Amino acid sequence: AQKVTQAQTEISVVEKEDVTLDCVYETRDTTYYLFWYKQPPSGELVFLIRRNSFDEQNEISGRYSWNFQKSTSSFNFTITASQVVDSAVYFCAPPGNQGGKLIFGQGTELSVKP
Amino acid sequence: DTAVSQTPKYLVTQMGNDKSIKCEQNLGHDTMYWYKQDSKKFLKIMFSYNNKELIINETVPNRFSPKSPDKAHLNLHINSLELGDSAVYFCASSQVVGAYNEQFFGPGTRLTVL
Protein backbone atom coordinates (compact mmCIF):
# COMPACT_ATOMS: atom_id res chain seq x y z
CA ALA A 1 0.00 0.00 0.00
CA GLN A 2 1.09 3.55 -0.65
CA LYS A 3 1.34 6.10 2.11
CA VAL A 4 2.28 9.75 1.91
CA THR A 5 3.00 11.72 5.08
CA GLN A 6 3.54 15.40 5.62
CA ALA A 7 4.24 15.38 9.32
CA GLN A 8 4.46 19.16 9.69
CA THR A 9 0.91 20.46 9.93
CA GLU A 10 1.84 24.12 10.40
CA ILE A 11 5.07 26.05 10.15
CA SER A 12 5.53 29.70 11.00
CA VAL A 13 8.63 31.66 10.04
CA VAL A 14 9.69 35.25 9.77
CA GLU A 15 10.37 36.72 6.37
CA LYS A 16 13.83 35.96 4.94
CA GLU A 17 14.21 32.76 6.94
CA ASP A 18 14.81 29.51 5.06
CA VAL A 19 12.20 26.82 5.58
CA THR A 20 12.07 23.14 4.65
CA LEU A 21 8.86 21.17 4.18
CA ASP A 22 9.05 17.42 4.56
CA CYS A 23 7.24 14.70 2.65
CA VAL A 24 7.72 10.97 3.13
CA TYR A 25 6.34 8.56 0.56
CA GLU A 26 6.22 4.87 1.36
CA THR A 27 5.66 2.54 -1.56
CA ARG A 28 6.78 -0.81 -2.90
CA ASP A 29 7.37 0.70 -6.31
CA THR A 30 11.03 1.06 -7.21
CA THR A 31 10.53 4.04 -9.50
CA TYR A 32 7.89 6.67 -9.06
CA TYR A 33 7.05 10.32 -9.42
CA LEU A 34 5.95 12.87 -6.89
CA PHE A 35 4.34 16.27 -7.38
CA TRP A 36 4.28 19.41 -5.25
CA TYR A 37 1.36 21.82 -5.26
CA LYS A 38 0.83 25.16 -3.57
CA GLN A 39 -2.55 26.40 -2.34
CA PRO A 40 -2.40 30.10 -1.40
CA PRO A 41 -5.13 31.72 0.71
CA SER A 42 -7.03 32.53 -2.50
CA GLY A 43 -7.70 28.79 -2.80
CA GLU A 44 -6.42 27.71 -6.19
CA LEU A 45 -4.06 24.75 -6.55
CA VAL A 46 -0.84 25.65 -8.32
CA PHE A 47 1.48 23.00 -9.75
CA LEU A 48 5.08 23.59 -8.61
CA ILE A 49 7.22 20.65 -9.66
CA ARG A 50 7.38 17.01 -10.62
CA ARG A 51 10.21 14.92 -9.19
CA ASN A 52 11.14 11.33 -9.90
CA SER A 53 12.69 8.71 -7.68
CA PHE A 54 15.64 7.92 -9.94
CA ASP A 55 17.08 11.41 -9.68
CA GLU A 56 18.53 12.27 -6.30
CA GLN A 57 20.14 15.49 -7.42
CA ASN A 58 18.79 18.69 -5.97
CA GLU A 59 16.58 20.69 -8.28
CA ILE A 60 16.60 24.44 -7.90
CA SER A 61 14.20 26.98 -9.31
CA GLY A 62 14.79 30.48 -8.03
CA ARG A 63 14.23 30.43 -4.27
CA TYR A 64 12.78 26.91 -4.38
CA SER A 65 14.80 23.73 -4.19
CA TRP A 66 13.83 20.10 -3.93
CA ASN A 67 15.82 17.20 -2.54
CA PHE A 68 15.01 13.50 -2.74
CA GLN A 69 16.65 10.93 -0.46
CA LYS A 70 15.79 7.41 -1.54
CA SER A 71 17.11 5.82 1.66
CA THR A 72 14.44 7.58 3.70
CA SER A 73 11.81 8.00 0.95
CA SER A 74 11.89 11.72 1.69
CA PHE A 75 11.06 14.42 -0.80
CA ASN A 76 11.90 17.71 0.84
CA PHE A 77 11.10 21.18 -0.39
CA THR A 78 13.12 24.20 0.72
CA ILE A 79 12.21 27.84 0.30
CA THR A 80 15.20 30.14 0.68
CA ALA A 81 14.73 33.67 1.99
CA SER A 82 11.00 33.19 2.47
CA GLN A 83 8.57 35.97 1.60
CA VAL A 84 5.08 36.77 2.80
CA VAL A 85 3.72 35.67 -0.60
CA ASP A 86 5.02 32.16 0.12
CA SER A 87 2.31 31.80 2.78
CA ALA A 88 0.19 28.89 1.60
CA VAL A 89 -0.61 25.24 2.14
CA TYR A 90 1.88 23.02 0.36
CA PHE A 91 0.91 19.52 -0.72
CA CYS A 92 3.05 16.68 -1.93
CA ALA A 93 1.18 14.18 -4.07
CA PRO A 94 2.40 10.92 -5.53
CA PRO A 95 0.30 9.24 -8.22
CA GLY A 96 -1.99 6.42 -7.20
CA ASN A 97 -1.74 3.02 -8.76
CA GLN A 98 -4.46 3.54 -11.33
CA GLY A 99 -6.08 6.07 -13.55
CA GLY A 100 -3.49 8.79 -13.02
CA LYS A 101 -5.07 9.95 -9.78
CA LEU A 102 -2.99 11.88 -7.26
CA ILE A 103 -2.85 10.90 -3.61
CA PHE A 104 -2.44 14.08 -1.62
CA GLY A 105 -0.60 14.39 1.65
CA GLN A 106 -2.25 16.19 4.52
CA GLY A 107 -0.56 19.44 3.54
CA THR A 108 1.73 21.77 5.45
CA GLU A 109 0.43 25.25 6.15
CA LEU A 110 3.28 27.72 5.91
CA SER A 111 2.86 31.16 7.40
CA VAL A 112 5.53 33.73 6.64
CA LYS A 113 5.30 36.79 8.85
CA PRO A 114 6.79 40.17 7.93
CA ASP B 1 -6.61 32.48 -21.23
CA THR B 2 -7.86 30.27 -18.42
CA ALA B 3 -6.58 26.71 -18.78
CA VAL B 4 -9.09 24.91 -16.54
CA SER B 5 -12.26 26.77 -15.66
CA GLN B 6 -15.15 25.86 -13.39
CA THR B 7 -18.57 27.38 -12.88
CA PRO B 8 -19.93 28.43 -10.56
CA LYS B 9 -17.23 29.52 -8.13
CA TYR B 10 -19.66 29.53 -5.21
CA LEU B 11 -22.80 27.48 -4.78
CA VAL B 12 -25.12 27.79 -1.78
CA THR B 13 -28.15 25.54 -1.68
CA GLN B 14 -30.59 23.73 0.56
CA MET B 15 -30.44 20.09 1.56
CA GLY B 16 -32.25 17.83 -0.87
CA ASN B 17 -31.68 20.01 -3.92
CA ASP B 18 -29.92 18.91 -7.11
CA LYS B 19 -27.03 20.97 -8.47
CA SER B 20 -24.39 20.84 -11.20
CA ILE B 21 -20.84 22.09 -11.50
CA LYS B 22 -19.30 22.58 -14.92
CA CYS B 23 -15.67 22.21 -15.90
CA GLU B 24 -13.87 23.01 -19.12
CA GLN B 25 -10.22 22.76 -20.11
CA ASN B 26 -8.63 24.38 -23.16
CA LEU B 27 -5.28 22.58 -22.86
CA GLY B 28 -6.13 19.82 -25.32
CA HIS B 29 -5.73 17.22 -22.56
CA ASP B 30 -7.21 13.73 -22.76
CA THR B 31 -7.83 13.16 -19.05
CA MET B 32 -9.97 15.03 -16.55
CA TYR B 33 -10.63 14.58 -12.85
CA TRP B 34 -12.85 15.67 -9.98
CA TYR B 35 -11.37 16.06 -6.49
CA LYS B 36 -13.09 16.99 -3.24
CA GLN B 37 -11.40 19.10 -0.57
CA ASP B 38 -12.98 18.97 2.86
CA SER B 39 -12.91 21.55 5.61
CA LYS B 40 -9.58 20.22 6.88
CA LYS B 41 -8.03 20.78 3.45
CA PHE B 42 -7.82 17.06 2.73
CA LEU B 43 -7.96 16.43 -1.02
CA LYS B 44 -9.34 13.19 -2.42
CA ILE B 45 -9.97 11.94 -5.93
CA MET B 46 -13.58 11.32 -6.87
CA PHE B 47 -13.59 10.53 -10.58
CA SER B 48 -11.24 10.29 -13.51
CA TYR B 49 -12.20 10.35 -17.19
CA ASN B 50 -10.02 9.59 -20.16
CA ASN B 51 -11.31 10.50 -23.62
CA LYS B 52 -14.85 10.77 -22.23
CA GLU B 53 -14.66 7.33 -20.61
CA LEU B 54 -14.87 6.81 -16.85
CA ILE B 55 -11.72 5.16 -15.51
CA ILE B 56 -11.89 5.87 -11.79
CA ASN B 57 -14.91 6.00 -9.50
CA GLU B 58 -13.46 6.22 -6.04
CA THR B 59 -16.43 4.80 -4.07
CA VAL B 60 -18.37 8.00 -4.40
CA PRO B 61 -22.10 7.83 -3.54
CA ASN B 62 -24.22 7.38 -6.65
CA ARG B 63 -25.87 10.72 -5.92
CA PHE B 64 -22.78 12.08 -7.70
CA SER B 65 -22.88 11.58 -11.45
CA PRO B 66 -20.12 12.90 -13.68
CA LYS B 67 -20.73 13.47 -17.35
CA SER B 68 -18.20 14.12 -20.08
CA PRO B 69 -19.85 15.29 -23.30
CA ASP B 70 -16.44 15.67 -24.93
CA LYS B 71 -12.75 15.58 -23.99
CA ALA B 72 -12.71 19.23 -22.99
CA HIS B 73 -15.63 19.08 -20.55
CA LEU B 74 -16.35 17.17 -17.37
CA ASN B 75 -19.44 18.15 -15.43
CA LEU B 76 -20.52 16.97 -12.00
CA HIS B 77 -24.17 16.59 -11.09
CA ILE B 78 -25.17 16.01 -7.48
CA ASN B 79 -28.62 14.79 -6.51
CA SER B 80 -30.33 15.11 -3.13
CA LEU B 81 -27.60 17.23 -1.58
CA GLU B 82 -26.62 16.49 2.00
CA LEU B 83 -24.87 18.61 4.61
CA GLY B 84 -21.76 16.45 4.29
CA ASP B 85 -21.44 17.39 0.63
CA SER B 86 -20.29 20.86 1.66
CA ALA B 87 -16.72 21.15 0.40
CA VAL B 88 -14.60 22.66 -2.33
CA TYR B 89 -14.72 20.68 -5.56
CA PHE B 90 -11.78 20.90 -7.93
CA CYS B 91 -11.67 19.88 -11.53
CA ALA B 92 -8.28 19.02 -13.04
CA SER B 93 -6.83 17.81 -16.31
CA SER B 94 -3.66 16.09 -17.49
CA GLN B 95 -2.28 15.45 -20.94
CA VAL B 96 -2.83 11.71 -20.78
CA VAL B 97 -3.46 9.08 -18.14
CA GLY B 98 -0.21 8.21 -16.47
CA ALA B 99 1.74 8.45 -13.26
CA TYR B 100 4.17 10.98 -14.69
CA ASN B 101 1.74 13.62 -15.91
CA GLU B 102 1.21 16.73 -13.88
CA GLN B 103 -2.37 17.79 -13.34
CA PHE B 104 -3.63 21.32 -13.73
CA PHE B 105 -6.46 22.41 -11.51
CA GLY B 106 -9.41 24.71 -11.92
CA PRO B 107 -10.11 27.46 -9.37
CA GLY B 108 -12.50 25.29 -7.36
CA THR B 109 -16.21 25.48 -6.58
CA ARG B 110 -17.14 26.07 -2.96
CA LEU B 111 -20.38 24.21 -2.29
CA THR B 112 -22.31 25.03 0.87
CA VAL B 113 -25.33 22.93 1.74
CA LEU B 114 -27.66 24.47 4.33
pLDDT tens figures, B12-29: 999 999 999 999 999 999
B105 with A47: Cβ contact below 8 A: yes
B108 with A47: Cβ contact below 8 A: no
Query: Nearest 10 degrees: CA dihedral of A12, A74, A79, A87?
Result: -40
Which pLDDT value is given to residue A82?
A: 97
> Is B76 within 8 Å of B89 (Cβ atoms)?
yes
Give residue-wise pLDDT tens across range A31-80: 888 899 999 999 999 999 888 887 777 777 889 988 888 888 888 999 99
A77, A99, A92: which is closest to B45 by C-alpha?
A: A99
- Min Cα distance B15 → chain A (Å) is 25
Which of A97, A101, A104 has the highest number of chain B CBs within 10 A, making it the mutation to test binding with B? A101
Which pLDDT value is given to residue A10?
A: 97
- Min Cα distance B77 → chain A (Å) is 20
> Is A89 within 8 Å of B87 (Cβ atoms)?
no
Which pLDDT value is given to residue A111?
A: 98
Helical residues (DSSP H) of chain B, grouped into ranges: none
Q: Between A13 and B101, whose confidence is greater?
A: A13
Q: Which residue of B has its CA nearest to A90?
A: B41
- Min Cα distance A14 → chain B (Å) is 24
What is the rounded CA–CA span in Å between residue A109 and residue B13?
A: 30
Mean pLDDT over the full length of chain B: 94
A100 with B58: Cβ contact below 8 A: no
The one-character DSSP state at A57 is S
* Backbone conformation region of residue B85, classed left if phi is above 0, alpha if psi is from -120 to 50, else beta: alpha
Which of B4, B34, B41, B88 has the highest number of chain A CBs within 10 A, making it the mutation to test binding with A? B41
Region B23-36: mean pLDDT is: 96
Which pLDDT value is given to residue B103?
A: 93
Which pLDDT value is given to residue B1?
A: 66
Which pLDDT value is given to residue B101?
A: 84
Among A31-40, A97-106, B101-110, name the one with the lowest average pLDDT: A97-106
Region B32-52: mean pLDDT is: 94
Mean pLDDT over the full length of chain A: 90
Q: Which residue of A has its CA nearest to B104?
A: A47
B43 with A104: Cβ contact below 8 A: yes
B46, B56, B1, B34: which is closest to B109 by C-alpha?
A: B34
Give residue-wise pLDDT tens across range A82-98: 999 999 999 999 888 77
